[in-house]
Chain A
Amino acid sequence: MTRKQRRGILIGTSLVVLGVAVGLVLFAMRNSIVFFYSPSEVAKMQIAPGQRFRLGGLVETGSVVRSEGTTVRFVVTDMAKALPVTFTGVLPDLFREGQGVVAEGTLAADGTFQADNVLAKHDEKYMPPEVAKKLKEQGVWRGDAQAGTPGAPGKVN
């Protein structure tokens, strides 16, 4: 086998593998990407029922209602708009009223959000960035205060 043929085989194989990889990535990008919206954006955007997306916001205080079996209803709000959510399953540990939440699912025909996954956020201080931004704009942000020091001992050194 000549040097030229060897190089040809090497380059050819590389191109095939890369081509397949690019094809797979592009195809997967089209089909398995999920957008993230806040309730205000959902209200604005006219999302077709059945299209998957992630909904982020705060769990409205007093909105959590348990119904049949393990089904839970609650309202996700970004302080401007609110969207009712239905979820069947076990809620993550850090799911609390007044705390940030991310739910993944689709809009039902009646305009409620059918979540099939409510994400466990690891940190109780977590808040979806756009919610934090919205809250800051409206002057009700208290995330930094939470992280701050209760006794506020001064820093030295």
Chain B
Amino acid sequence: MIAETGHYALILALGVAIVQMVLPLIGTRTRDPQLMAVAAPAAQLEFILIAIAFIALMTAYVTSDFSVENVWRNSHSAKPLLYKIAGVWGNHEGSMVLWVLILSLFGAAVATFGTNLPRQLQANVLAVQGSIGVAFLLFIVITSNPFTRLDPAPFDGQGLNPVLQDPALAFHPPFLYTGYVGFSMAFSFAVAALIEGRIDAAWARWVRPWTLAAWMCLTLGIAMGSWWAYYELGWGGFWFWDPVENASFMPWLAGTALLHSALVMEKRDALKVWTVLLAIITFSLSLMGTFLVRSGVLTSVHAFAVDPARGIFILAIMGVFIGGALALFAWRAPLLSQGGLFAPISREGSLVLNNLLLTTACAAVFVGTLYPLALEALTGDKISVGPPFFNFTFAPLILPLLIAVPFGPLLAWKRGDLLAAAQRLMAAACLALAITVLVLAFQQRGPWLAPFGIGVGVWLIAGAFTEIAYRVKLFDTSRSEAWRRLRNLPRAAYGSALAHSGLGLVVIGIVATTAWRSEQILALKPGETADIAGYTLTFKGVAPRQGPNYRERVALFTVTRGGKEVTELTPSKREFTVEKSGTTEAGIHASWRGDLYAVLGDQLKDGAYSVRLYFNPLVRLIWLGAVVMFVGGGVSLSDRRLRVGAPKRAQAKIAAVPAGE
């Protein structure tokens, strides 16, 4: 009964989405306010219906209703509750329901909180959002119905892929999807602007909070995925340039560019056409990511089912939306009034450089990700484009951007003074250089470039502090005056400074781990010891243990450093009885220096075990940095000036320093 309710709700939602797509569009054509007014309640209703379907599916999972095929395939009664819930989106059908749920959530949010939007714009935005809903609801109802019943109902389920049974991965898809799908808002606003043939600075102010929220979630979602891959896959790496990772990274790069270009549009009424195009590109990359991941073109943990019909359907959705939006862009963009060109050395100019480098880097990732697919389709040759390609192309393109970041916020709008900005950054530059030299002096091994990478990270963090210090006149005025300024500084300033310093942390983490990681692969017998990065590990042996839905063989290592006991590591190999497959659980000891990471391998013929040991210096900074970026976004989002319809922008400006935002 519950499953049927869910199925029925999904079909109703499709009907409502069609209404939401068609009526407001007619309304804006005929200037009929009643038809336009349909958009908001329809969007809210669509969300409620999809939420009902989602809850129905979740209920089926939690109660282990194996008469529902989807539950039977992906769940098992012995599975812990968290993974029964996470199992809802741990499969193709359920994850698509989550996709439309988030899509409709954003639509409903615009309907509810966007009451001060111009009526026509709101109607058009919701119509476009509705059309995306129609496409994906059709996709679910036709090719991926999660509520298909089985008769007779099997006794128990087949279980969830063991590598997915993990806390970080339980929350990775919701965050990632909120990011991916959240960019649909920017897309809908862009297409609505093109339909109206009109766009102004206010448009950017409405788009920015939605984009920022999506960007934050995507940042956290990517970080969670990377964190999961780090400790679950047992390779000790944090990023593999796997096509699936790239699929989420490309929208992030484009979305980051969009955030910055929308800023120019909001403040200076310029870069309009580019911002609209970027909004379309960002969501197109999200769609492409969905296609790559869901169609089974790529074989990976994400390709839950390889069904060509689904692939072709998503490809068609992609073609319609990307092609349609770009065609509309080509046709209508000339109507949008162009902002003026501006001086290269200015805040706007620096943001253009940001956009140029981010989109180019994104394009390089795009080429590397899609080239193997294109080549195989055209010539049948199979190749793989691995990390060397991406490291070689991405790093040189992103490096100038990292160096330029601290300059941006210190340049004034319209006409900046590069020399003055450079003078203000002198302290930051000296600090970065000093640390570079220090690291160079103490570095025993690793590439000579690595200390400079650390320097760049320090430069980003120090640069972010410099901006705040400069804006509150930390050293030029009395302490009470600085304190007053510090309190009155708009939150957006803190937000961007935090986000930029988070980026610095990520850079330091990546450089340190990549350059100075130690790795050892050994055959160890119980009682033997191994040395790595100053630690001594003694292998005590392997013992069996029973978990809730798996059996495992746990190895015990005692870790000493300088003769003192530090910790015990218990890497294990798990054998999941239901799913008949296994996972490797790494034993990790985290410290401020870095992570000691041990993986248990197979038993060898003479009673020894193969063991892989890593020491990953400063690796935690990568995820810490991502969290700081997320928090920075949140602080920025809480800025009253960003809140749609927040009153008295002008007053907030008076409080801000003369440089403006």
Contact = CB atoms under 8 A, between A and B. Distances in A.
6 contacts: A6-B341, A6-B344, A28-B389, A70-B610, A126-B299, A157-B147
A10 B341 contact: yes
Contacts of B145: 157
Interface in B383-442: 383-386, 388-389, 392-393, 396-397
Nearest to A126: B299
Nearest to A95: B602
Contacts of A48: none
Given A70-B601, A91-B602, 6 more contacts: A13-B356, A18-B360, A24-B393, A31-B388, A32-B386, A122-B300
A24 B396 contact: yes
Given A24-B392, A70-B604, A90-B610, A151 B154 contact: yes
A10 B301 contact: no
A33 B384 contact: yes
Contacts of B601: 70, 90-91
B605 A66 contact: yes
A155 B70 CA distance: 11
Contacts of A54: 384
A36 B148 contact: no
B463 to A, nearest CB: 21
B523 interface: yes
A24 B235 CA distance: 28
A129 B388 CA distance: 24
B389 A36 contact: no
B356 A35 contact: no
A28 B573 contact: no
Contacts of B356: 13-14, 17
B341 A7 contact: yes
Contacts of B150: 153-156
B152 A153 contact: yes
A81 B249 CA distance: 39
Contacts of A13: 344, 353, 356
B357 interface: yes
B344 A10 contact: yes
Nearest to A24: B393
A70 B344 contact: no
Nearest to A100: B299
Contacts of B371: 29
* Overall SS of chain B's interface: mixed
Contact of A157 (B148, B352, B581): B148
Contacts of B656: none
Most buried by B among A35, A121, A122, A124: A122
A33 B389 CA distance: 7
A14 B274 CA distance: 14
Nearest to B574: A93
Interface of B: 7, 69, 145, 147-154, 161, 163, 233-235, 299-301, 303, 341-344, 352-353, 356-357, 360-361, 363-364, 367-368, 371, 381-386, 388-389, 392-393, 396-397, 521-523, 573, 580-584, 599, 601-602, 604-605, 610-612
Closest 7 CB pairs of A and B: A32-B388, A36-B382, A90-B601, A122-B301, A70-B610, A28-B392, A32-B389
A62 interface: no
B235 A21 contact: no
A100 B343 CA distance: 58
Interface in A53-108: 54, 66, 69-70, 88-94
Contacts of B69: 155
B8 to A, nearest CB: 12
Kindly name the residue among A14, A25, A27, A154 whose own CB sees the greatest number of chain B CB atoms within 10 A.
A25
B363 A21 contact: yes
A47 interface: no
Contacts, number: 143
Contacts of A44: none
A70 B584 contact: no
A88 B521 contact: yes
Nearest to B580: A124
A3 B341 contact: yes
Contact of B383 (A17, A20, A34, A156): A34
The interface size bin for chain A is 35 or more
A15 B583 CA distance: 48
A35 B381 contact: yes
B300 A28 contact: no
Given A7-B341, A21-B364, A32 B392 contact: yes
A21 B363 CA distance: 9
A24 B151 contact: no
Contacts of A122: 161, 163, 300-301
Contacts of A120: 233-235
B154 A153 contact: yes
B151 A156 contact: yes
Contacts of A27: 392
A109 interface: no
A145 interface: no
A35 B312 CA distance: 27
B298 to A, nearest CB: 11
A157 B68 CA distance: 10
A9 B344 contact: yes
Contact of B384 (A36, A91, A93, A129): A36
A1 interface: yes
B612 A33 contact: no
Contacts of A3: 341
B383 A35 contact: yes
A123 B388 contact: no
Contacts of B384: 33-34, 36, 54
Contacts of A33: 383-385, 389
A3 B343 CA distance: 9
A25 B364 contact: yes
Given A13-B356, A123-B301, A93 B523 contact: no
Contacts of A36: 382-384
Contacts of B599: 90
Contacts of A18: 360
Contacts of A93: 234, 573, 581-584
B393 A70 contact: no
A94 B580 CA distance: 10
A38 B389 CA distance: 23
Nearest to A54: B384
A35 B382 contact: yes
B386 A153 contact: no
A93 to B, nearest CB: 5
Nearest to A66: B605
Contacts of A90: 234, 521, 599, 601-602, 610-612
B28 to A, nearest CB: 35
A32 B385 contact: yes
A9 B349 CA distance: 10
B393 A28 contact: yes
Contacts of A70: 521-523, 601, 604, 610
Nearest to B382: A36
Nearest to A70: B610
A36 B612 CA distance: 27
A90 to B, nearest CB: 4
A6 B161 contact: no
Contacts of B389: 28-29, 32-33
Nearest to A102: B384
Nearest to B394: A24
Contacts of A88: 521
B394 to A, nearest CB: 9
